[in-house]
Amino acid sequence: MPPAPVLPDLADRTVLVTGANAGLGYFATEQLAAAGARVLMACRSAERADRAVAAVRARVPDARLDVLSLDLADLDSVAACARSVDVGLDAVLCNAGLTSTDGRATTAQGLELMMGGNAFAHLALVAGLADRLRSGARVVSVGSIASRWSPVDLDDLQAERDFRSFRQYGRSKTATTALAFTLDRRWRAAGRDAVALAAHPGFAVDVLTPARPGVVEPSPRARSLARPARLLVQGKDAGAWPLVHACVGAGVHGGEYWGPGGVQELVGPPAPARARDHVRDVATGERLWAAVERATGVSLDALA
């Protein structure tokens, strides 16, 4: 595995990370805290958040961490989380999300759970945080290689006619990334001093992830058996690198897409990635933007 990227001194930075108690969100939190950033950990489970805080501080004793309550499956929780932030933000990492559900499930407001939580709720959260984004702030949405073969169905965004779990996950990640690009275009048009972009973790799995007690604990045997797959698969720690680089690294610009720089963007250190045409389509992005406003009832005017 290549060495972890070197981050700048982040002592003056504050970053909000959604889903910070597990997986990519946990390792992004650990990496940011190790570089000195204050991290606001927006998590659904207080118990899991406490375990994650303990795991980070076991490795970074002076980590500056604050836990916020956030359930992306409930827009009331999203709004409350945004209101609870009382500091300026240098970056928001929109990471939390579901990869599958057992049949079609819905949010508290009746939206399909993956589209509603992974994509729509994150944009609503950013809208609620708009006045706390500092000059030069970055909003980073976490995409997925699944978006490569998952164009959205704009006439069935909530999968009411035809639900297939993996396909809907891919579509939710396409929507997430397309909305990030749309936000950046709108900010540029408005002359706002902030940028939006997306990043993906490649093919990152728990079994190749270093153990963190209470957070991720792959067995030594499972890690040993999975080791030959490292040519095409990496741990969640390495998968978090492109996300963190997009938040705080050098040479990053609005509207970009970052991912691992190795084979097929599956593994490796952070590098510019290619988003498919259906993800970057301007008309699709604008229709998704309007769909978020209609479905959530949240005004996105604050993001203009």
pLDDT reading at 128 higher than 90 = yes
Mean pLDDT of 118-146: 98
Which of 32, 30, 28 is closest to 13 using CA atoms?
A: 32
Which of 292, 259, 288, 301 is closest to 148 using CA atoms?
A: 259
Mean pLDDT of 184-203: 97
Q: Can you tell me the distance from the alpha carbon of 189 to that of 226, in angstroms, rounded to the nearest whole number?
A: 47
pLDDT reading at 1 higher than 90 = no
Give the pLDDT confidence score for residue 117 in this predicted structure. 98
In the chain, the percentage of residues whose pLDDT exceeds 90 is 91
DSSP-derived pairing of the beta strands 257-260 and 270-272:
antiparallel
DSSP state of 115: I
Sequence-distant (≥ 6) Cβ neighbours of residue 80 within 8 angstroms: 69
Q: Can you tell me the distance from the alpha carbon of 199 to that of 75, in angstroms, rounded to the nearest whole number?
A: 24
Contact status, residue 95 vs residue 247, Cβ threshold 8 Å? no
Give the pLDDT confidence score for residue 291 in this predicted structure. 98
pLDDT in tens, 93-104: 999 999 999 999
Contact status, residue 164 vs residue 108, Cβ threshold 8 Å? no
Sheet of strand 38-43, all strands in order from the earlier edge strand to the far edge: 64-69, 38-43, 14-18, 89-94, 133-142, 194-199, 257-260, 270-272
Q: Can you tell me the distance from the alpha carbon of 169 to that of 167, in angstroms, rounded to the nearest whole number?
A: 5
pLDDT in tens, 67-120: 999 999 999 999 999 999 999 999 999 999 999 999 999 999 999 999 999 999
Cα dist from 290 to 52, 120, 189, 267, 287, whole Å: 36, 11, 17, 35, 5
Q: Can you tell me the distance from the alpha carbon of 113 to that of 182, in angstroms, rounded to the nearest whole number?
A: 22
Reported in sequence order, the residue ranges of the chain that DSSP labels E, i.e. its strands, are: 14-18, 38-43, 64-69, 89-94, 133-142, 194-199, 204-205, 234-235, 257-260, 270-272
pLDDT in tens, 222-263: 676 667 767 789 999 999 999 999 999 999 999 999 999 999
**From the centroid of its chain, how far is CA 47?**
21
- Mean confidence (pLDDT) of the chain: 95
- Residue 275 — φ and ψ, nearest 5°? -90, 135
Where along the chain do its domains lie?
Answer: 14-205+235-298
Mean pLDDT of 213-228: 78
DSSP state of 3: P
The CATH code that applies to domain 14-205+235-298 is: 3.40.50.720
pLDDT in tens, 32-70: 999 999 999 999 999 999 999 999 999 999 999 999 999
Give the pLDDT confidence score for residue 2 in this predicted structure. 60
